[in-house]
Structure 1
Amino acid sequence: MPDLTQGDDAAAVSALRSSVMRLSRRLKHQRVDESLSPTEMSVLGTLALCGSATPGELARKEHVQPPSMTRIVALLETKGLVSLEPHPEDRRQKVVRQTERATVMLEESRRKRNAFLAHLIEGLDEEEWARLRAAAPVLEKLAHL
């Protein structure tokens, strides 16, 4: 692997970082429920992707401290987006599950963000769209490394 901190490679890494961050910010503003913070949306997305989890497991997955996750879960519960149930093996723990209301909201949010992104993509020519389609699996891999 070449040294990605020098020359053209470093410039490409910087451009990729900047463009991914800018696009991410624009997509984050395409929310269905403006009362939810990006962190709350992220927690709901994690629950949708991974299924129910304890607050501690969610804290690790979201890279936040457990007391912060406890507050986030409490807010989501107040908004009717998650429910807390007894842990099947450890009565001291609770399991966080997303509610049907959260599922519907996440689906609407995904539709809105997909429509926004599709609108942006319409501004690309065929060659640019083909390159972006080809890059999607690579970006997905980077997101999960």
Structure 2
Amino acid sequence: MNELTAADLRVALLRLARRVRAEKADSELTDTQFSLLAALDRRGRATLKALAEFERVQPPSMTKTVAHLVDRGLVTRSRDPDDGRQAFVELTAAGHAAVDETRRRRDAWLGMRLAALDDRERAVLADATEIMRRIATE
């Protein structure tokens, strides 16, 4: 059996992630834009500041990303009635649909690849999934 190196695992994970990310409902959405939509889907309405912190980007970058998504009808932006300096961002029905369809496509693509594996390979991946989850949270 080959010895696993950190570099081997890193490259394989990056290639797989890149391939899965390619399965999008809207090919014009960038990975950053989709990441923001997915965060809003998971977390609900959020301020621009909170989104910038969560996505680890500068506020001006987040403002541009949100403006693009507003123009596309995927999110709405509204002022906080209690603090006019704050803006809230929220998914529209079209934004929810884009997230749902992208997730469905990604799961279908990966599911087809998993179905082509034998039982032993799927068991190895199940074990590896738990190990990667643990590594990611430590």
TM-score between both structures, scaled by the size of structure 2: 0.90
C-alpha separation between the residues in 1 aligned to 2:136 and 2:91?
23
2:76 to 83, 101, 115: 83
Fraction of identical pairs, as percent: 37
CA-to-partner distance for each residue in 1:72-124, whole Å, 9 max, x for gaps? 00000000010012225422111100111111111111111101001111232
Q: 1:137 Cα deviation (Å)? A: 3.1
C-alpha separation between the residues in 2 aligned to 1:138 and 1:58?
29
Q: Aligned Cα RMSD in Å?
A: 1.6
Q: Aligned in 2, Cα 1:138/1:89: closer, same or farther, shift over 3 Å?
A: farther
In structure 2, the residue matched to 1:31 is: 24
SS in 1 for 2:133: helix
Higher RCO structure (Cα 8 Å, ≥6 apart): 2
- After TM superposition, the structure 1 = structure 2 runs for residues 56-135 of structure 1, keeping only pairs within 5 Å, are 56-135=49-128
C-alpha separation between the residues in 2 aligned to 1:131 and 1:65?
40
C-alpha separation between the residues in 2 aligned to 1:136 and 1:89?
44
Is 1:13 paired with 2:6? yes
Q: 1:12 Cα deviation (Å)? A: 2.5
- Runs of 5+ in structure 2 lacking a partner? none
Q: 1:22 Cα deviation (Å)? A: 0.3
- Runs of 5+ in structure 1 lacking a partner? 1-7
Q: Aligned in 2, Cα 1:140/1:85: closer, same or farther, shift over 3 Å?
A: farther
TM-score between both structures, scaled by the size of structure 1: 0.86
C-alpha separation between the residues in 2 aligned to 1:54 and 1:142?
30
Q: Aligned in 2, Cα 1:18/1:87: closer, same or farther, shift over 3 Å?
A: same
